[in-house]
């Protein structure tokens, strides 16, 4: 039973097959091959817009590169305090942007509000003594498995665009967001004011594949230089292109996400029915967070259940006691359904008094 | 007939099979999986030394990261003017090192000499008005398909080590160098004074895989941070580890390189026997450079032969006329032997008057 | 009546005279002149230790350069949330360090505690997914006009040194700290575990002059390169050296600081006797902070009294109401005593009901 | 007799007096004072255009900051191989730009030609594998004491502007250029296509004062952030403003430059009449370069004559023998006329056989 992360599982068979199929003959390298070109076209179709899309190998690189196109070295990027760019990427955003400041705000359920952003922006009254407010980065689905709706994204866009700021989505779990929201990819992004997105595929079935997608294509003007300079232009680029084509073909990406999301609902429902654990915020994507006694965490790890103790600092959570933890369970397209059921059964036995 | 680069070919079947075989079950992510650990152990065996090895996805990243561990932002790295780090990686070395200066020296056959390095170092007489000489980076095999012998590497090491400088090898084609030199990997590296190497696998049969290998393991102390910060720590790291294990297993890496090198010899011999083209420096690895009339280049491209016009600036080549070019032919582990023979036959017909 | 900052006043006459006196004949440039050398010697005497001292032109540069010598690009620097390096220098620390993360902690009176630092360090449990804890930076005197005693500094040093971290002091108002503490410069720095300090002179009587002082002189090894690279090696360096010599001669620096500190005490005493304003933390250096109604702030500005509304966010201050502000009054060596008295008289009239 | 550099001399008395005069009362800090504002206005008058001007403390900072506004981290800046930004500033341009590549071209007399620039640009045919050509930086007066005429500057501008590149002037000795050319400051800059300039005052009579002047004022949009982030926004900014006002007042800057240039002519004429030394290129500003036997250099240094052996590498100079050096003599506004005459007399005695 492994709920540690969606990246502990492997590659979806159709994506693995696509890699094998791409393995014949010669192709141009460095993203000038047909696979890469067709991948960009496929993303244009998915987003119903002529986007510019650049394939890279990790989510950290995708985020850093995307931010570098919208935040100058003297700029500030506002995000949630628990955002990956704020606390999970060493100093990578600083590296890619040349030193921009990442300002993490607290907010319930892993989400930041227009009010919190506005309050922060209103504090920037001293010109160059502060960094220049450059961008807001939202994670969708969030690190807490919650979702920003198009209306929520639009409200933030409406706040920041008149100030000349740009809007980025860290979409490491974007498929889960689209599947959970039940809206189109376009509605969840550019129709709501998003300028650029890190579009994740790795967690949801690919091997190592993310795309930086520009909805505001002018921002992409020099992006090929940025990708090259960051060591993210791969020579045998056909294998990234082929993965992306398979990921999008026949909606595999959403199919995978729907399955993972459904498993999360199944897990949450099972845990609630066992009446033993608090689930402090809505389960909207492929993650379930529960508050549990620390000794239960230790017991479960001992029983071979893999999941993380997720530090609550910055989450704005009330009511977690000293001897409790916030436990994170991540469901993947590849998580066996029986693992969920076995875990729920196990928890029934462990029922908290 | 494609001699454009070794990266226009695909993945070796045994490496592809290893990727498939790794695709089952769950594994820890971010390089804490067994595949990654065993890959490091396998590299220790290959180099007969407890090295530290970090897998990354591109040669540009490997070079930049390796240099960042040995050259401070105020430092200088000396290399050949035609080195990949000098002229093929946008400003990537500057990006990874935080602004170190890459100083490209001219030298025959793509190689720099101790004398040229010493002359450069002797010009650094003004303290902080110059950058601090930090490292020398040698490409082996070179961009011109020639080789540095252990004796040549040792001579450079002996020159720079007393000055506190470090020695890096860009080994994008290291397998071809070892195969061509007929020495052990240890002799071509740490036994000759090399501190850190970019060990390439992509060009020689992997999908996207390079390793930064520290022979001076103290230099690796903080390297995990550097790799993470650069967006080069992949989450599903098992697929890099599995590639490396297959690449090294039963000497596949050297087998591939020997085949490519042999094809280069076959091509060179064929061209010389056709008596039509000059080959200005020794063919020692998997590349053949010839001087040819520009009109012949155009004709051959028209006939579907893919290869590059390699700009001679910085190569120290004499005797290339205005209407001539320096043509590069790269042979891969996967280049069909008949392509070489067909091309030689074609050239016989095109015999230069 | 100008209490806006200590930098709204000019140069002390003895320092101005020293500039004039230095203006004859020729001298070597770029810090190889006698003035620069003697300035370093004078600092060794002041600190009773063979320190390395590098003169620069601004406090922001001094801080950034000092941090760059102790924090790598993948490192973290812990400081108070109100520290100059955290919120008053645009992204300058990130610029100089190549992207280190500045982590600002809250703490009463502008000071951080060993407990708060330890709690933060204990959160760094994920290796390279977090930045590497590299340094703590304390501001002494703090942004709130309070002081760290040698005992407090030593306690922080004792906490971080076993973890391989370094200790920096932002001493933009170090003279005021030494004067206020009544200890020797040595006791306030290296005897308490400080490795490197930004030693300010500008606010306390110089024109534009700060020094980066290394107590751990090994850290200074390459610092000349860093200063040059940052554009902080001035050609006519004699004028920096001459300023520093005059600043230190006959204890002018402490004489100035004592006067400013005494004026702060006079102001605080006057305000308290007027019984109208709260002074939320001890006045220990040359700054007085009071809580006042916002309308009073407006009235006083209208009456020509210059001081700042200091945003309380991050200060850990309780009890500031919506219609109140935290007002900062800075006293300088050059503030006329009668200005203090006039302001106290004015406040008596403005007595808050 | 000190001809080592123009920065071995002190401050012009009128500038020193201006500093003293500015030393009374309180002023706003951080460039919001009247002196700073009036300095910008005075520069608008000098250049007959509403420019944006930012005062900084060193020429290295001025260059780095100016380049950072026109060259992205993935860009290339083309200059002469002997340019200060190429070989006298450690890795400062890389630091300020975030890693742009400085490409130094050879050229006679310290000048680069449109042909050489065009040849370089024509080599940039591989997209993001090369850096993006961003700017050309010309030094006027050059490091060799020669001058670019408005016609020459315009020709370079005409070449690069259609390619989207910007034109920078390193004007550390701009006053000497204007004095030598006999044209207006406007003609030597924006009327010839210059976008931004480092305008030097330190070498020509100020204490530590340079300005970054934007003729294309849109480029200045975020420059205040850049200056702050670089630690170049000084708090007691009145002293920079006051220096600049005095430097420009009544044409002091050109008066000083004319005197220095005239002394250079006097020295050159004297040396030529002594018939002993070769002067390999025209003396057009305040520097005289001569070819002399190395033993003469040693003798003169022994006799107390200060000047530099200027390494000829990169200068495109022919005919310097193994036992000869290229000696640089710099004349300042403050060089005593009798020193020139004494030196000429001395050289008559030293007449080379």
- Kindly list the distances between the CA atom of residue C86 and the CA atoms of A93, C56, C103, C157, D96, in Å, as whole numbers in the listed order: 17, 20, 7, 20, 20
Model confidence at B353, pLDDT cuts 50, 70, 90, reads very low
* Contact residues, chain B, for D75 at CB < 8 Å: 91
- Mean pLDDT, residues A125-132 taken together: 93
What pLDDT is recorded for position B140? Answer: 98
Residue C200 tokens read as: 């300010």
Distance from CA of C73 to the nearest CA of B (A): 8
Spatial CB neighbours of A247, under 8 Å, sequence gap ≥ 6: A12, A15, A201, A204, A205, A206, A209, A253
* pLDDT exceeds cutoff 80 at A318: no
Find the Cα–Cα–Cα–Cα dihedral C4, C10, C13, C15, rounded to 10°. 110
Taking the C-alpha atoms of residue C231 and residue D95, their distance in angstroms, rounded to an integer, is: 10
| C interface with A, Cβ–Cβ below 8 Å | 73-76, 87-91, 94-95, 98-101, 123, 128-131, 311, 313
Query: Taking CB atoms and an 8 Å limit, are D226 and A127 in contact across chains?
Result: no
Model confidence at B352, pLDDT cuts 50, 70, 90, reads low
* Contact residues, chain C, for A7 at CB < 8 Å: none
Q: What is the pLDDT of residues B218-276, one digit of tens each?
A: 999 999 999 999 999 999 999 999 999 999 999 999 999 999 999 999 999 999 887 67
Please state which architecture CATH assigns to domain B12-252. 3-Layer(aba) Sandwich (3.40)
Pick the closest to residue B89 from B98, B77, B102 (CA basis).
B102
* Contact residues, chain A, for D127 at CB < 8 Å: 224
- Mean pLDDT, residues B41-56 taken together: 98
* pLDDT exceeds cutoff 70 at C43: yes
Distance from CA of B304 to the nearest CA of C (A): 47
Q: Which CATH number fits domain D12-251: 3.40.50.1000, 3.40.640.10, 3.40.50.10800, 3.20.20.70?
A: 3.40.640.10
Q: What is the pLDDT of residues A175-201, one digit of tens each?
A: 999 999 999 999 999 999 999 999 999
Taking the C-alpha atoms of residue B199 and residue D26, their distance in angstroms, rounded to an integer, is: 63
Query: Taking CB atoms and an 8 Å limit, are B233 and C127 in contact across chains?
Result: no
**What is the secondary structure of C290-301 as a DSSP string?**
EEEEHHHHHHHH
Query: Taking CB atoms and an 8 Å limit, are B313 and D123 in contact across chains?
Result: yes
- Kindly list the distances between the CA atom of residue A316 and the CA atoms of B30, C46, D296, in Å, as whole numbers in the listed order: 28, 49, 77
Phi-psi region of B60 (alpha: psi -120 to 50; beta: other; left: phi over 0): alpha
What pLDDT is recorded for position D314? Answer: 47
- Mean pLDDT, residues C126-134 taken together: 95
Q: Computed over its alpha carbons, how large is the radius of gyration of chain B?
A: 20
Spatial CB neighbours of A62, under 8 Å, sequence gap ≥ 6: A56, A198, A199, A200, A210, A211, A212, B231
Percent of chain A beyond pLDDT 90?
A: 88
User: Taking a C-beta distance cutoff of 8 angstroms, is the pair D109, D142 a contact?
Assistant: yes
Query: Taking CB atoms and an 8 Å limit, are B236 and A96 in contact across chains?
Result: no
* Contact residues, chain A, for C89 at CB < 8 Å: 129
Distance from CA of D93 to the nearest CA of C (A): 8
* pLDDT exceeds cutoff 80 at A313: no
Which among D98, D132, D224 has the least Cβ separation from residue A225? Answer: D132
Query: Taking CB atoms and an 8 Å limit, are A99 and D129 in contact across chains?
Result: no
Spatial CB neighbours of A105, under 8 Å, sequence gap ≥ 6: A78, A79, A80, A81, A112, A116, A117, A120
Q: Taking CA atoms, what residue in A is nearest to D223?
A: A128
What pLDDT is recorded for position B75? Answer: 98
Residue listed under structure tokens 């002189």: C217
Q: Taking CA atoms, what residue in C is nearest to D11?
A: C23
β strands within chain A, DSSP E: 52-56, 75-80, 101-105, 132-139, 166-171, 196-200, 210-214, 287-293, 308-309, 324-330
Query: Taking CB atoms and an 8 Å limit, are C94 and A88 in contact across chains?
Result: no
Q: What is the pLDDT of residues C44-77, one digit of tens each?
A: 999 999 999 999 999 999 999 999 999 999 999 9
Spatial CB neighbours of A147, under 8 Å, sequence gap ≥ 6: A140, A141, A177, A180, A181, A284, A285
Residue C196 tokens read as: 């490197």
Taking the C-alpha atoms of residue D195 and residue D213, their distance in angstroms, rounded to an integer, is: 9
Model confidence at B317, pLDDT cuts 50, 70, 90, reads low
Delimiting residues of CATH 3.40.640.10 domain(s) in chain C? 12-252
What pLDDT is recorded for position C350? Answer: 75
- Kindly list the distances between the CA atom of residue C295 and the CA atoms of A119, C300, C323, C350, in Å, as whole numbers in the listed order: 22, 9, 8, 11
* Contact residues, chain C, for D28 at CB < 8 Å: 4, 8
- DSSP letter at C83 equals -
- Please report how many Cα atoms fall inside a 13 Å half-sphere around the Cα of residue B43, on the Cβ side: 27
Query: Taking CB atoms and an 8 Å limit, are C89 and A129 in contact across chains?
Result: yes
Percent of chain C beyond pLDDT 70?
A: 97
Mutate to test the interface with C, among A5, A88, A99, A134 (most CBs of C within 10 A): A99
How high is the mean pLDDT of chain C?
Answer: 95
Topology given in CATH for the domain delimited by B254-349: 3.90.1150
Q: What is the pLDDT of residues D180-189, one digit of tens each?
A: 999 999 999 9
What pLDDT is recorded for position D135? Answer: 98
Which among C131, C222, C227 has the least Cβ separation from residue B132? Answer: C222
Which among A91, A129, A131 has the least Cβ separation from residue C101? Answer: A91
* pLDDT exceeds cutoff 90 at C179: yes
What pLDDT is recorded for position D351? Answer: 64
Distance from CA of B229 to the nearest CA of C (A): 7
- Mean pLDDT, residues A39-44 taken together: 98
* pLDDT exceeds cutoff 80 at D215: yes
Delimiting residues of CATH 3.40.640.10 domain(s) in chain D? 12-251
What pLDDT is recorded for position B40? Answer: 98
CATH 3.90.1150.10 assigned to domain C253-349? The reply is yes
Which among A22, A233, A236 has the least Cβ separation from residue B202? Answer: A236
Q: Are strands A287-293 and A324-330 parallel, antiparallel or unpaired?
A: antiparallel
Percent of chain D beyond pLDDT 70?
A: 97
* Contact residues, chain A, for C74 at CB < 8 Å: 90-91
The helix/strand/coil state of B318 is: coil
Q: Which residue has the higher pLDDT, B305 or A316?
A: B305
Residue listed under structure tokens 């609902």: A265
pTM of the model: 0.97
Taking the C-alpha atoms of residue B320 and residue B293, their distance in angstroms, rounded to an integer, is: 10
Q: Taking CA atoms, what residue in C is nearest to D63?
A: C231
What pLDDT is recorded for position B329? Answer: 97
- DSSP letter at C95 equals H
Q: How many Cβ pairs closer than 8 A exist between chain A and B?
A: 158
User: Taking a C-beta distance cutoff of 8 angstroms, is the pair A226, A65 a contact?
Assistant: yes
Q: What is the pLDDT of residues D229-269, one digit of tens each?
A: 999 999 999 999 999 999 999 999 999 999 999 999 999 99
- Mean pLDDT, residues A149-173 taken together: 98
* pLDDT exceeds cutoff 60 at B161: yes
* Contact residues, chain A, for D229 at CB < 8 Å: 73-74, 99, 128
Distance from CA of B159 to the nearest CA of A (A): 31
* pLDDT exceeds cutoff 60 at C315: no
Mutate to test the interface with D, among B84, B91, B95 (most CBs of D within 10 A): B91
Pick the closest to residue A307 from A273, A272, A346 (CA basis).
A346
- Mean pLDDT, residues C114-141 taken together: 95
Taking the C-alpha atoms of residue D26 and residue D33, their distance in angstroms, rounded to an integer, is: 10
What pLDDT is recorded for position C313? Answer: 58
Model confidence at C317, pLDDT cuts 50, 70, 90, reads low
- Mean pLDDT, residues C129-142 taken together: 97
Pick the closest to residue C219 from C76, C94, C30, C71 (CA basis).
C71
Residue C50 tokens read as: 């063979």
Q: Are strands D101-105 and D52-56 parallel, antiparallel or unpaired?
A: unpaired
Q: Are strands C210-214 and C308-309 parallel, antiparallel or unpaired?
A: unpaired
Delimiting residues of CATH 3.90.1150.10 domain(s) in chain D? 253-349
Residue D319 tokens read as: 């005919």
Query: Taking CB atoms and an 8 Å limit, are A311 and C94 in contact across chains?
Result: no
* pLDDT exceeds cutoff 60 at A352: no
* pLDDT exceeds cutoff 60 at C189: yes
* pLDDT exceeds cutoff 70 at C253: yes
Q: What is the pLDDT of residues C197-237, one digit of tens each?
A: 999 999 999 999 999 999 999 999 999 999 999 999 999 99
Mutate to test the interface with B, among A84, A235, A239 (most CBs of B within 10 A): A235
Q: Taking CA atoms, what residue in B is nearest to C226?
A: B74
* Contact residues, chain B, for D131 at CB < 8 Å: 90-91
Taking the C-alpha atoms of residue B186 and residue B249, their distance in angstroms, rounded to an integer, is: 17
Model confidence at C318, pLDDT cuts 50, 70, 90, reads low
Q: Taking CA atoms, what residue in D is nearest to A75?
A: D225
Taking the C-alpha atoms of residue B287 and residue B109, their distance in angstroms, rounded to an integer, is: 12
* Contact residues, chain D, for A129 at CB < 8 Å: 30, 228
* pLDDT exceeds cutoff 90 at D353: no
């Amino acid at each position: 039973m492994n709920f540690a992360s969606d990246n502990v599982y492997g590659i979806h068979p159709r994506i693995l097959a696509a890699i094998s199929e791409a393995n014949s003959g010669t192709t141009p390298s460095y993203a000038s091959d047909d696979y890469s070109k067709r991948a960009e076209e496929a993303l244009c179709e998915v987003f119903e817009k002529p986007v510019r899309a650049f394939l890279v190998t990790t989510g950290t690189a995708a985020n850093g590169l995307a931010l570098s196109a919208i935040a100058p070295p003297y700029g500030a990027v506002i995000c949630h305090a628990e955002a990956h760019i704020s606390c999970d990427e060493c100093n990578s955003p600083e590296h890619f942007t040349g030193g921009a400041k990442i300002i993490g705000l607290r907010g319930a359920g892993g989400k930041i509000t227009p009010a919190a952003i506005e309050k922060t922006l209103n504090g920037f009254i001293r010109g160059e003594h502060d960094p220049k407010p450059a961008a807001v980065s939202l994670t969708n689905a969030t690190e807490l498995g919650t979702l920003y709706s198009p209306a929520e994204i639009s409200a933030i866009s409406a706040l920041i665009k008149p100030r000349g700021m740009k809007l980025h989505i860290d979409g490491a779990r974007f498929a889960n967001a689209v599947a959970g929201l039940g809206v189109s990819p376009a509605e969840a992004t550019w129709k709501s004011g998003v300028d650029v997105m890190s579009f994740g595929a790795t967690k949801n079935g690919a091997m190592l594949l993310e795309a930086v997608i520009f909805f505001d294509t002018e921002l992409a003007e020099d992006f090929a230089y940025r990708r090259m300079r960051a060591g993210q232009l791969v020579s045998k680029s056909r294998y990234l292109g082929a993965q992306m084509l398979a990921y999008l073909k026949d909606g595999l990406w959403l199919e995978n996400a729907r399955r993972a999301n459904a498993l999360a609902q199944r897990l949450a429902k099972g845990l609630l029915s066992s009446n033993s654990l608090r689930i402090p915020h809505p389960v909207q994507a492929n993650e379930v967070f529960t508050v549990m006694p620390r000794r239960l965490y230790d017991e479960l790890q001992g029983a071979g259940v893999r999941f993380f103790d997720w530090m609550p600092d910055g989450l704005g959570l009330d009511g977690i006691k000293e001897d409790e933890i916030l436990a994170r369970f991540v469901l993947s397209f590849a998580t066996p359904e029986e693992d969920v059921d076995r875990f729920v059964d196990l928890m029934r036995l462990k029922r908290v008094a």
